[in-house]
Amino acid sequence: MRYARIVPDIAARAIDGCFDYAVSPELAETCLVGCCVLVSFGHRDVVGYVVGLADEPAAGVDRARVQPVRSVLAAPSFDEVGARLASWIAREYAAPLAVCLRLMLPPGQTMRVTREEGGDWTLVAERAKAVDDRWVSLTDEGRAFRPRANAKRQQRVIEALGAGPQRVAELSALVPGAGSVVSALLKHGVVAVEHRRRVRGSADAASTLSSARAPRPARLTDGQEAALAAIARAADARVGDVVLVDGVTGSGKTEVYLDAIERELSRGRGAIVLVPEISLTAQTVGRFRSRFGDDVAILHSRLSTGERFDQWDMVREGRAHVVVGARSALFAPLSDVGLVIVDEEHEGSYKQDQAPRYHAREAAAELARLRGSALVLGSATPSLESLERCRRGGWRGVSWTRVEMPERPGAAVLPRVRVVDMRREFAPKNGSIFSRALGDALLGMAERREKAVLLLNRRGFASFLMCRECGCVPTCTHCSTALTYHERTHSLVCHSCGRSWPVRAYPDPSTRCPSCGSRYLAQFGVGTQRVEDELGMLLAGKGVDVIRMDADTTATKGAHTRLLERFDASECAVLVGTQMIAKGLDFPEVTLVGVVNADTTLKLPDFRAAERTHHLLEQVAGRAGRGERPGEVIIQTYWATHPAIAAVATHERAAFEHYELAQRREAYYPPFSRVANVVVGGVSETCVRGRAQAMADAVRREVAAGVGGEAAGSGRAAAGGRAGVANPRGAVGMVLPGLSDVPGMPEVPGMPEVPELPDGWEVLGPSECVKGRVKDRHRWHLIVKAPPEAELGPVLSAAVGSLPADRRTTMAIDVDAYDFM
């Protein structure tokens, strides 16, 4: 008798783990690791995932009480390594194991057991399936067949098939009623019909972008050669070593990826390539397919469920060995992985914002270790965490190596950067959103018939409306967020919950201030819609195509590719957009890059704000001058002296890194610590605040018991009921009462007092989130800091498990958090 280790698909921490089930002889050949099965759990049937097989049940388990596997619902979708990776994510990020295993499932597979009120439990199984097309062709006998003179449809079908086999669907469009004709001819042996697998969306994946081609260069630069040598050593070691390719924008990192993958394919191994933005997929896939043909599969969220399943199934069947996509592509069923590549590794979009809240870079490192692959991280602006690990020479038992690529291939050089202080620009009454320098540069670009890119990391026409009389700013009635004005639709939109109100109907049929009734509502701030409009006025009559690319214009399927193809085909054009246009795009005709407001992300309540601003500016600056003509970058800002902006102007990244690391070290933030953000939400603010305080106290107890023990007491943060900070920059927050004093929070008998924390650990908060209310739910959070080598996930899981259940609130644990809003 075989026994299966099965994880029930129940996202509850109380029953998180594996359970033993007996595998009957009838199911022995089909019940394999990675299968989806139906089992009994408690008093009902549930869906489960097989993560292991054994000849004996676990120690201490009575064989007589082991229940059998009821049935196998789906074929394996992951192997033992996939199960171990899911287990690592569950532990590292304090997530239920069942939720982590769902990452490994085929696109479109949904299986659950439900019941209506008072009814029986029923299995609901939904699976995307392969699509087979019927192809029809003439047989040898059919070529000599002559239909009757009045059989006009048979004549037309045979005439069409004379040119070669055709799909029945296409034949039916050409000859109405061709399906019945084919059936009749099939009976007489005139035609033959076969089923061929159709890969949905394969025709749409081809890109017409000129930059999507990847011709092999005549020679590689010294930096490219050094990077390839380092990657080859890491791949040959087969222990998960990491190579950080630190190359300036336009230095040819993609060519390094292509050559490294080509080497692995020649050795019979595959590769996974992650890109941070869906907008980059068209160019990236085009380059990879120009080199590897149909051996490339694409996986990202803008594909339909059927298209994603076909691409996923191509990988599982071994028909594709190179996987390109967003962070979910990391879990493609590619068994023999020789190389994992994370392009633009510094990007925050690699952090999952829903459970399980994993970071794709960290999960890729663990996958490379488990598979014996090499991990390649590429960026012109590497994250401080990656740079710190390279300085140490390793992390968690594997080697981290940094290779620099400081030059661009051929005659291309880094662009000239000019910083415009907008405080001086407004002194002579210049009311335009464009400085004189940027306006003149745009006019010059139009005269030379070149192309430009304008960045503004804020969509909409204006950031908000404000009453000139009383200063009231209309806010969302469901969120603590100011509404953004969209001129094209004449509406106020909440970018937190997505609700919108027509301007004439907010808050009543008039356009008056909701507070004082004044008619003087003014627009403040600048959005991409306004930039598009002002560009149209500035460049009117000059034959310049203005293209806007933001979340509003790319909401439909294929919109990214269509807009980029339009920009590529235009003789002279300006691409206006948010951060999705700042990285990865390669258009040699772009000679001008303008940043309308560099301060948009600089003043957010986030310790990574300066780093993100520097990365964004450096990346968008790199879009200019990638061809033979020199490039120019103009950055408009009200804080021209900030190190993040000054470093971009001089191309001296080391100066900014020195400044930022000093700030991080003083405030004890990554890379000198690990940070987790625990967010508690609910309808009742009293319950939310009490639950957050209970969680903070529970974390302190777990840390003291598991890390410091009785020797704790010299920690950086005070304990007990003292609150921490209201934001991650370190501002002191309000002092909250103890757990037993919080209204609405039940007392827990016998709960010990909260001890002080050991050195290196801090629990800050709880305090109200910056977005204190979203979708009518109040939000409070606490921040936990730990030493860089600490295991935060198990500590936070134990703290949650020690609390009594409370259905009035929800709790989201984000380890290595990127969003503190």
Q: pLDDT tens, 672-696?
A: 999 999 999 999 999 999 999 999 9
- Asked whether the predicted pLDDT for residue 137 surpasses 80, the reply is yes
Return the closest-CA partner of residue 329 out of 290, 289, 302. Answer: 302
Average pLDDT over the chain, rounded to whole? 86
The CATH architecture that domain 674-815 belongs to is: 2-Layer Sandwich (3.30)
Return the closest-CA partner of residue 106 out of 36, 53, 199. Answer: 36
| 107 compared with 501, residue with greater pLDDT | 107
**What secondary structure does DSSP assign to 493-523, as a single string?**
E-TTT--EEEGGGSSSSS---TTT--S-EEE
Question: How much of the chain, in percent, has pLDDT values that exceed 70?
Answer: 87
pLDDT recorded at residue 118: 63
pLDDT recorded at residue 541: 93
- Triad 170, 313, 51: Cα angle to 5°: 155
User: What distance in Å separates the CA atoms of residue 334 and residue 271, rounded to the nearest whole number?
Assistant: 8
| 488 compared with 555, residue with greater pLDDT | 555
The answer to whether 416-460+526-667 and 674-815 have equal CATH topology is: no
Return the closest-CA partner of residue 364 out of 350, 348, 375. Answer: 375
* Single pTM value for the model: 0.84
* pLDDT band with cut points at 50, 70 and 90 for residue 742: very low
- Return all residues near 658 (Cβ < 8 A) that are at least 6 apart: none
* pLDDT band with cut points at 50, 70 and 90 for residue 259: very high
- Asked whether the predicted pLDDT for residue 725 surpasses 60, the reply is no
Question: Exposed (0-12), middle (13-18) or buried (19+): which is 304, by Cβ within 10 Å?
Answer: middle
pLDDT recorded at residue 501: 79
pLDDT recorded at residue 211: 57
- Asked whether the predicted pLDDT for residue 731 surpasses 70, the reply is no
- Asked whether the predicted pLDDT for residue 175 surpasses 50, the reply is yes
| 318 compared with 558, residue with greater pLDDT | 318
Tokens of 161: 């098939």
- Asked whether the predicted pLDDT for residue 412 surpasses 80, the reply is no
User: What distance in Å separates the CA atoms of residue 33 and residue 23, rounded to the nearest whole number?
Assistant: 12
| 279 compared with 813, residue with greater pLDDT | 813
Return the closest-CA partner of residue 580 out of 485, 458, 416. Answer: 458
Would you identify the CATH topology of the domain 416-460+526-667?
Answer: Rossmann fold (3.40.50)
pLDDT recorded at residue 462: 54
* pLDDT band with cut points at 50, 70 and 90 for residue 426: low
* pLDDT band with cut points at 50, 70 and 90 for residue 712: very low
For domain 2-126, the CATH class is: alpha beta
Q: pLDDT tens, 771-789?
A: 899 999 999 999 999 999 9
Return the closest-CA partner of residue 527 out of 483, 480, 567. Answer: 483
pLDDT recorded at residue 459: 58
| Peptide linkage before 766 cis (omega within 30 of 0) | yes
* pLDDT band with cut points at 50, 70 and 90 for residue 710: very low
- Asked whether the predicted pLDDT for residue 514 surpasses 50, the reply is yes
- Asked whether the predicted pLDDT for residue 396 surpasses 80, the reply is yes
User: What distance in Å separates the CA atoms of residue 107 and residue 122, rounded to the nearest whole number?
Assistant: 22
Return the closest-CA partner of residue 719 out of 748, 675, 752. Answer: 752
Span 282-305, average pLDDT: 86
| Among the ranges given (57-66, 234-243, 502-511), the one the predictor scored with the smallest mean pLDDT | 502-511
| 784 compared with 505, residue with greater pLDDT | 784
pLDDT recorded at residue 375: 98
What CATH number does domain 210-405 carry, 1.10.15.40, 3.30.200.20, 3.40.50.300, 3.40.50.720? 3.40.50.300
Q: b/e for 269-278, b at 16 or more Cβ within 10 A?
A: bbbbbbbbbb
| Among the ranges given (221-235, 363-377, 496-510, 735-749), the one the predictor scored with the smallest mean pLDDT | 735-749
* pLDDT band with cut points at 50, 70 and 90 for residue 754: low
Q: pLDDT tens, 799-815?
A: 999 999 999 999 999 99
The secondary element (H helix, E strand) that includes residue 573 is strand 573-577
| 666 compared with 413, residue with greater pLDDT | 666
- Asked whether the predicted pLDDT for residue 314 surpasses 90, the reply is yes
* pLDDT band with cut points at 50, 70 and 90 for residue 516: confident
- Asked whether the predicted pLDDT for residue 527 surpasses 90, the reply is no
The 8 Å CB, 24+ separation contacts for 438-441 are 438/594, 438/596, 438/634, 438/636, 439/538, 441/592, 441/594, 441/632, 441/634
Q: pLDDT tens, 494-503?
A: 888 888 878 7
Q: pLDDT tens, 32-41?
A: 999 999 999 9
Q: pLDDT tens, 440-466?
A: 999 999 999 999 999 987 755 556 677
pLDDT recorded at residue 481: 79
Q: Where are the domains of the chain?
A: 2-126, 131-198, 210-405, 416-460+526-667, 674-815
* pLDDT band with cut points at 50, 70 and 90 for residue 126: confident
Q: What does the DSSP 8-state code read for residue 27?
A: G
| Among the ranges given (362-366, 488-492, 566-570), the one the predictor scored with the smallest mean pLDDT | 488-492
List C-alpha distances in Å: 154 to 41, 167, 168, 179. 59, 16, 14, 11
| Peptide linkage before 356 cis (omega within 30 of 0) | yes
| 567 compared with 467, residue with greater pLDDT | 567
pLDDT recorded at residue 714: 35
